[in-house]
Chains A and B, each alone.
Chain A
């Protein structure tokens, strides 16, 4: 079937229209954030005059200089921990032979469908009573987020390692290399694109995580993440639309920048069947 010109024109018109709808609210927020006027903006219009006033006002009122640092610490910590242990486990599940391998892998995959709502209650109460040194710390948020994200990490890295030609591994093993050396010397380099995708996705999911930091850091607002602080700030102010828009822009900016650079990785990863929280 050769597609006729009108067919192709309709396709592109539809794609254009629905792409436009998908970005419109986000573009509107950015424009509102840069608007100089104090009053709530009704429609979508170019900022007149262009101003960073709302941004600096939001920066001060919502304490972003502290919450962005908290978000960065938690997201980077979660990413390093999750990716490291996922590479190790993904490699073991794909390459090494040991009793109970399939059962343990199935157990890890359960994590793909565990909703945060079904783990947050004991997490909060048990940490407070049995591990109070962890309560309200960055560490507990990093550990909880890693726990929930590691299922995808293992699933993703196992799929990569399972596709590696067996001969590559056998050759190294015959040379007397132990499993860890094989991973480090032989497989880490070809695995880099898969690892990079995982890094980008875990960082995004951790940055956008909401319920876990909301509950686990409820008692220590000085450690609270930027998205949760913005939500709490939203509850207090509803009239200052440019201020809220500016806050939104500040919270979204890091992941938007990351998306500009790594969009291929984002899309490939999420489409592989990841269950986003």
Chain B
């Protein structure tokens, strides 16, 4: 019963591992073959990656997948959930509160992405005719809103927009006191006011990016455009805009992502109010999941935000490639 043949027949895995051990032993004696060293190297590659995946998989990837999974259920966070199919996604259209949050988000994209990029492009193209020297100190100041915690930004602007705050005092001082109002408490003006905070927070970043990009455009291109008799606008279209393609991709990705998931700023500045006038999808995720007991609905909103950010990033990166790169890819 204990003869080697029987053991082999009963436990193939033991045999395989014994054979493997013998192989390894032989290789060691061969002073490590090339294949063995390649194996050692690829194994150490995985060892170097192990710590990253040990954190990234359980704390980012699995929650991401689990969010998508939860979005297909009705769940209050306590009792067992029930299967809901795509009902939570249909509610994004049919529930006016949810639908309007996405509309608000689209409005914020204009203020967070379109306005800062357009403003920075305009300023930088005016400057491009005089190559910028000594931009260092300006860069430091323009970049400051990126450093300050968003909570602090929100507090500063709540004060600026307050009924007795600096903005209304300024309006009164220049005889436009009739326009003064509680900006963040006004159903019409609260969302644009939040948008203005985003524009303020992001235009400096865009300017710093574009000024850096501008330094890399060869002067000869501007000289050539001038020789061809190009006016400022033609020069902008032919030289500046294509020259800043890479920087536009970075600026677009950063600002749109900031607009679509802008939880901190809205949470502190207005908490979605007045009413739901400034409620954005991020805020809904928080509210539905952690105070309203609508976890499935919150998960559907979260999954949609992720899908939007992912799709927008892909589209911008695609169009940000040079035409040659695009052809090679297609």
Which residues from chain A sit less than 8 Å from chain B, CB to CB?
1, 3-4, 7-8, 10-11, 14-16, 18-23, 25-26, 28-29, 32, 40, 42-44, 81, 84-86, 88-89, 91-93, 96-99, 101, 104, 107-108, 110-111, 113-126, 143-144, 146-148, 150-151, 154, 178-180, 204, 207-208, 210-211, 214-215, 218, 227-228, 230-231, 234-235, 238, 241, 244-245, 247-248, 251-252, 255-256, 259, 263, 266-267, 270-271, 273-277
Contact = CB atoms under 8 A, between A and B. Distances in A.
B55 A230 contact: no
Given A96-B41, A111-B56, A263-B140, 20 more contacts: A3-B129, A4-B130, A15-B127, A84-B51, A88-B52, A89-B52, A98-B46, A104-B49, A108-B52, A108-B56, A111-B60, A113-B309, A113-B313, A121-B295, A148-B59, A210-B150, A210-B263, A234-B268, A273-B253, A276-B257
B55 A147 contact: yes
Contacts of A20: 141
Nearest to A107: B61
Interface of B: 38, 41-46, 48-49, 51-53, 55-56, 58-64, 66-67, 70, 77, 123, 126-127, 129-132, 135, 137-160, 162, 164-166, 169-170, 200, 203-205, 207-209, 212, 219, 222-223, 226, 249-250, 253-254, 257-258, 260-261, 263-264, 267-268, 271, 281-282, 285-286, 289-290, 295, 298-299, 301-303, 305-306, 309-310, 313
A116 B146 contact: no
B59 A144 contact: yes
Contacts of B149: 207-208, 210, 227, 251-252, 255
A244 B155 contact: yes
B41 A241 contact: no
Most buried by B among A121, A123, A143, A255: A121
A227 B145 CA distance: 15
A4 B130 CA distance: 7
Most buried by B among A4, A117, A227, A235: A117
15 contacts: A19-B142, A20-B141, A25-B200, A117-B302, A117-B306, A118-B305, A121-B295, A121-B302, A123-B59, A124-B290, A214-B286, A231-B268, A245-B159, A248-B156, A266-B143
A119 B45 contact: no
B250 A7 contact: no
A133 to B, nearest CB: 14
Given A26-B148, A256-B148, A18 B123 contact: yes
Contacts, number: 305
A23 B285 contact: no
Contact of B45 (A43, A85, A101, A108): A101
B116 to A, nearest CB: 11
Given A244-B155, A248-B151, A275-B253, A23 B144 contact: yes
Contacts of A150: 52, 55-56
A-B complex: 9 closest residue pairs judged by Cβ atoms: A147-B59, A98-B45, A98-B42, A92-B48, A3-B130, A118-B306, A7-B130, A122-B66, A119-B63
Nearest to A125: B77
A47 to B, nearest CB: 15
B209 A271 contact: yes
